[in-house]
């Protein structure tokens, strides 16, 4: 199962705050996909993952949209 969090159009700090809140409800081992347009998210969400013990599986940029795949710690 994979969940999607769409935070496109939101500016710092909302993308990282919503990601953190949503990850609390993601079951262990499951993946959350986050889509964001705020350029700060490319730095802030990986930092959140490192600080919180989430596994950042990937970070891509597609036409100005940053797409993160984050796994909840098992």
Give the separation between CA 24 and CA 64, rounded to whole angstroms: 27
- The verdict on whether 49 is a catalytic residue reads no
Single out the catalytic residue among 10, 12, 31, 56: 12
Catalytic residues: 12
């Amino acid at each position: 199962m994979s969940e999607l969090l769409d935070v496109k159009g939101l500016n710092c700090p909302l993308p990282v705050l919503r990601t953190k809140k949503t990850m609390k409800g993601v079951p262990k081992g499951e993946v959350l996909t986050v889509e964001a347009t705020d350029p700060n998210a490319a730095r802030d969400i990986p930092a959140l993952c490192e600080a919180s013990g989430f596994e950042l599986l990937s970070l891509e940029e597609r036409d100005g949209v940053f797409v993160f795949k984050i796994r909840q710690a098992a």
